[in-house]
C-alpha cells in the first residue's frame, strides 16, 4: 500500500518548472499527482508518476536532486467530515502527518499523505475500513 513519490529540489527561478515538465514529457512519463511546497529561495516538487525509476534516471541525468519518498493514498467519500474521520483515526494512534495534497472528483476524494509511520498508518486505516490505493494504481510494480 506504500506508494513511491518523487520529490525534486527546485530553485525559485523562472522557467525551472517548465524544464522539469519538459524532461518528463520527452521521456513519456505521465504525472498522476503533483504539488509544490515553496520557500523564498527554493521549492520542493512532489509528484507520483507512472514510471518512477525512469523518471529518476531522467531527472538525475539533468543534474536535479531527486528523492524517493514513501507516501500513502486514500480515497474518501466527497462528503463533509470524511477527511476529518481519517485524520482522527491517525491522530488517535499518534501518527503525524507531515504534509498532504488531494482533490475530489465524481463524489470521491483522493488524498496523498506523508506520515511519520506509513506502515502503521496503513494498518490503522485498513482496520477502520478506509479505502487505500496501492502502488499498482499509479505505476507497474
Partner 1 sequence: MIWNPHYECMDREEMRAVQSKRLCDTVDRVYHNVPFYRNKMQQLGLEPGDIKSIDDISKLPFTTKQDLRDNYPFGLFAVPKSEIVRVHASSGTTGKPTVVGYSRKDIGIFSEVVARSLYAAGASRDDIIQVAYGYGLFTGGLGLHYGAEKIGATVIPISGGNTQKQLQLMQDFESTVIACTPSYALYLAEAMDESGISPDSLSLKIGVFGAEPWTEEMRHKIEKNLNIKAYDIYGLSEIMGPGVANDCIYQNGLHIWEDHFIPEIISPDTLTPLEQGQIGELVFTTITKEALPLLRYRTRDLTRLNYDKCQCGRTAVRMEKCTGRSDDMIIIRGVNVFPSQVESVLLEIGETKPHYLLIVERENSLDTLEIWVEVDDYYFSDEIGKLEGLTKKIKHAVESTLGISVKIKLVEPKTIQRSEGKAKRVIDKRNI
Output the nine-digit C-alpha cell for 104.
Answer: 475530489
Cβ distance to partner 1 smaller for residue 44 or 82? 44
Cα 54 from Cα 66, distance rounded (Å): 12
Bridge partners (DSSP) listed for residue 45: 8, 36
Cα 67 from Cα 114, distance rounded (Å): 14
Q: How many CB atoms lie within 10 A of CB 86?
A: 23
Query: Binder to partner 1 among 4, 7, 21, 27 (CB under 8 A)?
Result: 7
Cβ distance to partner 1 smaller for residue 5 or 76? 5
Residue count, binding to partner 1 (CB under 8 A): 21
Cα 73 from Cα 119, distance rounded (Å): 12
Identify residues 82-121 at the interface with partner 1 (CB under 8 A).
Answer: 98-99, 114
Residues 24-63, mask of contacts with partner 1 (x by CB under 8 A): -------------x-x-xx-x-x-------------x--x
Query: Binder to partner 1 among 55, 64, 86, 124 (CB under 8 A)?
Result: 64
Rounded to a whole number of angstroms, the minimum distance from the CB of residue 66 to partner 1 is 7
Output the nine-digit C-alpha cell for 1.
Answer: 500500500
Amino acid at each position: 500500500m506504500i506508494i513511491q513519490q518523487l520529490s525534486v529540489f527546485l530553485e525559485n527561478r523562472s522557467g525551472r518548472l517548465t524544464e522539469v515538465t519538459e524532461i518528463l514529457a520527452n521521456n513519456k512519463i505521465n504525472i498522476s499527482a503533483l504539488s509544490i511546497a515553496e520557500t523564498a529561495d527554493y521549492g520542493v516538487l512532489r509528484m507520483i508518476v507512472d514510471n518512477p525509476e525512469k523518471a529518476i534516471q531522467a531527472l538525475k541525468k539533468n543534474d536535479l536532486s531527486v528523492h524517493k519518498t514513501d507516501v500513502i493514498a486514500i480515497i474518501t467519500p466527497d462528503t463533509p467530515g470524511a477527511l476529518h474521520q481519517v485524520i482522527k483515526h491517525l491522530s488517535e494512534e499518534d501518527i503525524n502527518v507531515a504534509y498532504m495534497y488531494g482533490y475530489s472528483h465524481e463524489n470521491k476524494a483522493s488524498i496523498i499523505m506523508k506520515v511519520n509511520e506509513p506502515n502503521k498508518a496503513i494498518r490503522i486505516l485498513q482496520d477502520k475500513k478506509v479505502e487505500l490505493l496501492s502502488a499498482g494504481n499509479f505505476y507497474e510494480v
